[in-house]
Amino acid sequence: MTLPEYFTVLGDFRSVVADLATDLDHDPQIGPVTATVTFKPMLRDGDAILATDATPRPTGYIAAPIVAKINSSGRLVLRDVPDGTRQIVDDITALPGTGDATKYYVADDTGAHYRWNGIDYDEILPYAPVRLLADTPLLELETPLYYTVTFSNVLFNGRAGKLNSFTFAAPNTGDAEVNLIEVMRQPGQPAAGGTKVAPNAIRSDGAGNLIFSFDGVDIPDPVPFPVSTAYSETIGNGATTSLTVDHELGTMDVVVSVHDVATGEEVDCDVVKSTGNRVVLTFATAPALNSLRCTVIGTAFGVGSPRPTESISISDATVVGRAVLTAGSQSSAVAALGLSLVDNLDGTYTIDFPGGS
């Protein structure tokens, strides 16, 4: 079974307060500290941790904050008692020959706590410890997982106090221990790679087409949705009144704008969309050399190289929180949204989204 692993968080806190008048010495008093402690994993808002290798099936883990406390003894705990039903025995020799795994046993003479492991007794902590998700390879995060620790309802020897929050990096192995007194404080940042396209969600059909799937089921052809794209060119030769602009957007549905390079003012001209990849501009007088800037804006139903020439469709793929693109070729799809396509050399491809979003 490939499952998440966890680490234990420890911490002991004491307050140093003024000496009591009733005390025989003049040393400050060491008093208790109590507080509510919240451990929040640093992930981007809305991100799930996609563990594609989890068993029995790929799983998205939502890492919720864990609320613990510093108890009246100044110890960090999740709860003041272990999980299970308590049974008191006189001493360790009085433990049952075969224990009950749903109970924990307390030796009355020493106060030690024990739990039956199916073969023998293990001595356990006298409280439920704080356990947090470890940053193991199963999580597939691209950057380290950090936890932010915040304190509230802080009392020093019964009086209101304050403890500053901080951040630490999660261990990358399970069953490790982190002591809040010793751990290195780090600035930290949200872990990248939480919500992403799972392996094999995008593959080639061998004929130059990209196939998208979720949980092993191919996504059907989506409803077409236009993506805005544009082409700009500086024009004018000082000799002719009719100028040709090859935009190669692959559609007649374009809007053409011409402006003066020096002043930024719009310039009137007659526009003829001679093909889906070309417009012809006619002016009253021949524009001076490189004096005008022409911009053609269209809807990219397809992408070629270097600009769209083929048909594409886009739909909202809520299963991965991303737009899904289908196109006539891999290069067409990648260029349409400015993506980076990596060939995994096994019939599958990885798409990197700009800025990791």
**Taking a C-beta distance cutoff of 8 angstroms, is the pair 175, 5 a contact?**
yes
Q: What is the DSSP string of 136-176?
A: -GGG--SS--EEEEEEEEEEETTEE-----EEEEPPSSTT-
Mean pLDDT of the chain: 79
Amino acid residing at 181: I
Same domain, 150 and 60: yes
* Mode of pairing for the β-strands spanning 210-214 and 270-275: unpaired
Q: Does some domain include residue 158? A: yes
Between 112-126, 144-158, 318-332, the lowest mean confidence (pLDDT) is in 318-332
Same domain, 155 and 23: yes
For residue 354, give the 3-state DSSP assignment: helix
Asked if residue 225 has pLDDT above 50, the reply is no
Give the E-state strand segments of 42-125 in sequence order: 49-51, 59-61, 66-70, 76-77, 85-89, 103-107, 113-116, 121-124
Closest by Cα among 100, 104, 73 to 11 = 73
- How far apart are the C-alpha atoms of 20 and 43, rounded to whole Å? 46
> Domain span at residue 118?
88-123
- pLDDT tens-place string over residues 15-49: 888 887 777 778 888 888 999 999 999 887 778 88
Q: Does some domain include residue 97? A: yes
Tokens of 356: 């990791």
Structure confidence at residue 105 (pLDDT): 92
**Taking a C-beta distance cutoff of 8 angstroms, is the pair 233, 294 a contact?**
yes
- How far apart are the C-alpha atoms of 357 and 354, rounded to whole Å? 6
Same domain, 160 and 282: no
Within 8 A by CB and 6+ apart from 345, the residues are: none
Same domain, 259 and 152: no
Q: What's CA 73's distance to the chain center, in Å?
A: 37
Tokens of 161: 């106090």
Same domain, 100 and 69: no
Same domain, 118 and 131: no
Arithmetic mean of pLDDT, 216-233: 60
Q: Does some domain include residue 323? A: yes
Tokens of 144: 């380290």
Same domain, 213 and 319: yes
The count of domains in the chain is 4
Arithmetic mean of pLDDT, 153-180: 90
- How far apart are the C-alpha atoms of 268 and 283, rounded to whole Å? 7
Within 8 A by CB and 6+ apart from 287, the residues are: 235, 236, 237, 238, 243, 267
Asked if residue 207 has pLDDT above 80, the reply is no
Q: Does some domain include residue 188? A: no
Q: Does some domain include residue 153? A: yes
The most confident of 209-213, 288-292, 301-305, 333-337, by mean pLDDT: 288-292
Q: Does some domain include residue 184? A: no
Q: Does some domain include residue 59? A: yes
Same domain, 131 and 36: yes
Same domain, 69 and 138: yes
Q: Give 225 or 148, the one with higher predicted confidence.
A: 148
Same domain, 149 and 111: no
Burial of 312 (0-12, 13-18, 19+ CB in 10 A): buried
- How far apart are the C-alpha atoms of 54 and 3, rounded to whole Å? 6
Same domain, 14 and 144: yes
Q: Does some domain include residue 195? A: no
Same domain, 92 and 75: no
For residue 92, give the 3-state DSSP assignment: helix
